[in-house]
Amino acid sequence: MAPEETTPTGPRNAVVVLLDSLNRSAVGAYGATEVETPNLDRLARRSVRFDDHRAGSLPCIPARHDLLVGALDFPWRPWGSIEVWESSIVASLRAAGVATMLVSDHPHLFETGGENYHTDFRAWDYQRGHESDPWRTRPDPSFIGAPVAGTRWHPYDDSRTWFRGEEDFPGPRTLGAAASWLRRDAPHHDRFFLLVDEFDPHEPFDVPEPYASMYGQSDDDRTLIWPPYSAGKPGVVSEAEGRALRANYAAKVTMIDAWLGRILDALDDTGRWDDTVVVLCTDHGHYLGERDIWGKPAVPVYETMGRIPLLVAWPGMPAGSSSALTATVDLHATLCDVFGVTPIHRTHGRSLAPLLRGEASGIRDEVLAGVWGREVHLVTPGSKYVRAPVGPNAPLSMWSNRWSTMPVPDVPELRLPLPDERAVLDRAPGTRVPVIRQPFAEGDLLPYWAWGGFSGHHLWALSEDPGEDHDLAGQGTKAEAEAVDHLREALRTIDAPDDQFVRLGLE
């Protein structure tokens, strides 16, 4: 969809705060009562709250591809950097004279597979020490009693010892640095785009006081900061451990909420609400024991993971809510609309501007979502259809000229094999640039996002069954047949790879 021309009454600037693994159930504006989020709620009071916003490509880096590139990632490849036939919106903004700034503590942006998402920004500020960031070669010898525990060494074990007070943690440093940029540098630019890519509340769920005991955590509870990645196995996490993990997650949300307030204060003090669109979003949710699922394991994308919060404050428009179905790629289209730029590659988003300006009640009829190599999800207003492979998880291809998959710093031996003699040159949809297409057959080692079994096809009538408790698949109903046809057509619309149709039984 081509972007509309920016109007004189529209925003001149944009601030996007992208959190990682933020659950709707943890945000007061979405009805949460057990987690304190006064600043998220403060932002919501001047925003449109989107109630049916969806993740498209999962997990972390694929979701950032959807946001910054505007093209669904998961049908073609797993975790990977921006490809040579496409471009980040940031490159278009720089060419249009917009000042672009990234402030982030997200370690995967600086690892293989995510290393070029930051390069087109005019400037970027990386706050070190979160999760897998190889920041320190040794622990601080003066530190006593790190509240961490695990079965093997992790880079965070060293980094954590260098944090003392709240202001030393990567999340507070990131949000504080973004607020400082808004006060110090933004006033010197005619137009600007600020992306705050904040890795919290992603694990480790490690926080200092006063948050460490805010939700009833004991000293022992504080050591439970790494949730397991476990799919539907009762007893992996005890009831007491589950309470502690959820409390520590809530504590991290509240700590990040407090520092989000500094960004809101900076917008208040500099008068930016009148000329700046402010977006608060996330890449996906995080399972915290729902259906005995923890982390982000190989399971269908249930509502906890896929239905995500989105708040958008648009200058001159009143606060409210929207029930329109939207997806992460739509944020890319909205930014193109705000700044009047046109992507050079094929994209899949639709601008939210008509919704925000009250000119439309909907912009799309479906959302395609998933993880590469796993189930494909078709979300429509009021329903979700999940299609798994009908036999072996094959054939399957990975399309990439930047061959990589997510590295695991503390398991360096886990690497995807190189392309082999079966690889061919193909063309990705909308491009004449040759791309390596590597086929995988049954028995091949796949990128590990595709590991694990499948639970079959699923169909939920979300309008009547928001908890996904009553699976309607396998009953031969008209609704299921229509969902199959709709999914087939949606995949054809984006020119999805032919092997996706074969493995899903949609030929």
Please report whether residue 3 resides in a domain. no
Contact in structure between 3 and 185 (CB atoms under 8 Å): no
Domain with 72, as residue range(s), is 13-365
DSSP letter string, 79-130:
S----TT---HHHHHHHTT-EEEEEE--GGGGSTTTTTSSTTSSEEEE---S
Q: 70-84, 88-102, 164-178, 443-457: lowest mean pLDDT where?
A: 443-457
- 501 φ/ψ angles, rounded to the nearest 5 degrees: -65, -35
User: What local confidence, expressed as pLDDT, does residue 154 receive?
Assistant: 86
User: What local confidence, expressed as pLDDT, does residue 3 receive?
Assistant: 39
Q: Please, which residues bridge with residue 366 across strands?
A: none
User: What local confidence, expressed as pLDDT, does residue 112 receive?
Assistant: 87
Contact in structure between 379 and 459 (CB atoms under 8 Å): no
Please report whether residue 4 resides in a domain. no
User: What local confidence, expressed as pLDDT, does residue 257 receive?
Assistant: 98
Read off the pLDDT of residues 164-217 as tens digits, 9 standing for 90 and up. 899 999 999 999 999 999 999 999 999 999 999 999 999 999 999 999 999 999
**Which is it for the CA torsion 212, 110, 295, 59, positive or negative?**
positive
Q: What is the mean pLDDT of the chain?
A: 94
- Number of domains making up the chain: 2
Q: Where a domain ends, among 341, 365, 389?
A: 365
Whether cis (ω within 30° of 0) applies to the bond prior to 392 is: no
Q: Where a domain ends, among 315, 331, 365?
A: 365
Q: Where a domain ends, among 326, 343, 365?
A: 365
Read off the pLDDT of residues 84-97 as tens digits, 9 standing for 90 and up. 999 999 999 999 99
Q: 385 with 344, same domain?
A: no
Q: 437 with 497, same domain?
A: yes
Q: 81 with 130, same domain?
A: yes
What Rg, from alpha-carbon coordinates, does the chain have? Answer: 22
Q: What is the mean pLDDT of residues 112-138?
A: 95
CA gap 160, 154 in Å, rounded:
10
User: What local confidence, expressed as pLDDT, does residue 448 receive?
Assistant: 77
Q: Residue 322 is part of a domain; what is its CATH number?
A: 3.40.720.10
Contact in structure between 301 and 55 (CB atoms under 8 Å): yes
Report residue 55 as tokens.
Answer: 């993740």
CA gap 230, 237 in Å, rounded:
9
Other C-beta atoms within 10 Å of 81: how many? 20
Q: 332 with 404, same domain?
A: no
Report residue 174 as tokens.
Answer: 């990131």
Report residue 77 as tokens.
Answer: 């490849």
User: What local confidence, expressed as pLDDT, does residue 149 receive?
Assistant: 57
Secondary-structure percent of the chain, ordered helix, strand, coil, rounded to 5: 30, 20, 55
Contact in structure between 30 and 210 (CB atoms under 8 Å): no
- In terms of C-beta density within 10 A (0-12 exposed, 13-18 middle, 19 or more buried), how is residue 368 classed? buried
Indicate whether 140 pLDDT > 60.
yes
Q: 353 with 406, same domain?
A: no
CA gap 367, 390 in Å, rounded:
22
Pick the closest to residue 328 from 307, 345, 314, 357 (CA basis). Answer: 307
CA gap 39, 148 in Å, rounded:
28
Pick the closest to residue 423 from 407, 446, 445, 400 (CA basis). Answer: 400
User: What local confidence, expressed as pLDDT, does residue 450 receive?
Assistant: 87
Q: 347 with 388, same domain?
A: no
Indicate whether 244 pLDDT > 60.
yes
Q: 425 with 395, same domain?
A: yes
Pairing of strands 367-370, 376-380: antiparallel
Pick the closest to residue 70 from 2, 10, 20 (CA basis). Answer: 2
Which strand (E) or helix (H) includes residue 398?
strand 396-399
Read off the pLDDT of residues 286-342 as tens digits, 9 standing for 90 and up. 999 999 999 999 999 999 999 999 999 999 999 999 999 999 999 999 999 999 999
Read off the pLDDT of residues 265-291 as tens digits, 9 standing for 90 and up. 999 999 999 999 999 999 999 999 999
Map residue 15 onto helix, strand or coil.
Answer: strand
User: What local confidence, expressed as pLDDT, does residue 407 receive?
Assistant: 67
Q: What is the mean pLDDT of residues 473-493?
A: 97
Q: 333 with 374, same domain?
A: no
Q: Please, which residues bridge with residue 17 across strands?
A: 196, 280
Q: 358 with 383, same domain?
A: no
Q: 356 with 401, same domain?
A: no
- In terms of C-beta density within 10 A (0-12 exposed, 13-18 middle, 19 or more buried), how is residue 474 classed? exposed
pTM of the model: 0.95
- In terms of C-beta density within 10 A (0-12 exposed, 13-18 middle, 19 or more buried), how is residue 114 classed? buried
Map residue 399 onto helix, strand or coil.
Answer: strand
Pairing of strands 287-288, 293-295: antiparallel
User: What local confidence, expressed as pLDDT, does residue 404 receive?
Assistant: 76
Pairing of strands 320-327, 48-54: parallel
User: What local confidence, expressed as pLDDT, does residue 6 receive?
Assistant: 40
Q: 349 with 288, same domain?
A: yes
The residue type found at 486 is H
Report residue 37 as tokens.
Answer: 């989020």
Q: 300 with 378, same domain?
A: no
Map residue 216 onto helix, strand or coil.
Answer: coil
Percent of the chain with pLDDT over 70: 95
